[in-house]
Structure 1
């Protein structure tokens, strides 16, 4: 496989996977914000799951295509074992661990009826770690991360996630009136 094509494919798959993961996180959070305000979460939980699944599929492609990269000459160990590569060891390890946590999050979601919703919810709390790790991986190792477009993509993603987290955990006016400062659990 041609070096240039491999590089483009790897970059395109990584960026696409990141965008899908970001949209998955945002749609999941938006569904929770709607639910918090007494609205139906609508299609957002389904969208959240579908986007996460596609992010994982494209991330798998991103990982697989790295094996064919003639510039770095990765081995399967370099690609699949954290800290095994000598090529940008830390950001590669962060990406590998984030990839495994993404797979674990999706698998436990698929098995939530078997493992129980209570256990699944606790495991699903690892999702923010996945998002943070994948963001760090992309910013640190991405060859385009310093370009205006790519950096803008990260800023928009991070801002969107932080805004939705704020809305998700913000105390409503009714909560403030019912539970004065320091009395709510």
Structure 2
């Protein structure tokens, strides 16, 4: 049973990383107001939210399966407090930091209407910190973290996020007029 939990924990972590890569890229596209081929403009936001939600479910499955796995030796405290775990505490701690940031992002997303756009946006910037922390966690702590297939996947994900981020920070990135009015 432990081997199945370990394999499921690994697979769910990889799937979550891919989904959060897509979420970051979609979030940047959403902010720009650009269209995705075959989708109306409002659908980009819905796809971003749904990909983020599914990614969060996979993180829950990742952490939950590793909590039940006797080899991983995770406990509830390890999930909330970084760098205290018994198995590779630094690398595991990075995963905990990423989960803590994800929790902050989820809570502010759920309370967006009550908190306001400025608070939501300020906390949402944590996504740009969460993603590389999770990537480094996966490489340092993951069983497959240094395997050639995973490093290739990590490179593709990094290229996607890096390209989107460079575009987001460039002078060529122009937010839609509707989005600029929301932030006022």
TM above 0.5, yes or no, is: yes
Give, in angstroms, the shift of residue 5 of structure 1: 0.5
Match of 2:68, SS?
A: coil
Give, in angstroms, the shift of residue 32 of structure 1: 2.9
Does 2:74 correspond to 1:74? yes
Q: Distance in 2 between matches of 1:6 and 1:154?
A: 23
Which residue is 1:104 aligned to?
Answer: 104
* Distance change in 2, residues 1:142/1:118 (3 Å): same
Query: Bigger radius of gyration, 1 or 2?
Result: 1
Which residue is 2:3 aligned to?
Answer: 4
Give, in angstroms, the shift of residue 83 of structure 1: 1.8
Decide which moves more: 135-144 or 63-72.
63-72
Decide which moves more: 108-117 or 141-150.
141-150
**Structure 1 residue runs of 4 or more that deviate by more than 4 Å after TM superposition:** none
Match of 1:153, SS?
A: helix
Whether the aligned pair in 2 keeps the contact of 1:29 and 1:165 (CA below 8 Å) is yes
Q: How big is the alpha-carbon RMSD for the aligned residues of Structure 1 and Structure 2? A: 2.1
Which residue is 1:171 aligned to?
Answer: 171
Structure 2: runs of 5 or more not aligned = 35-39, 175-184
TM score, norm. by length of structure 2: 0.84
Q: State the number of aligned residues.
A: 170
Give, in angstroms, the shift of residue 50 of structure 1: 1.0
Whether the aligned pair in 1 keeps the contact of 2:78 and 2:96 (CA below 8 Å) is no
TM-superposition CA deviations, 1:7-30 (whole Å, max 9, x none) = 111101111111111111111112
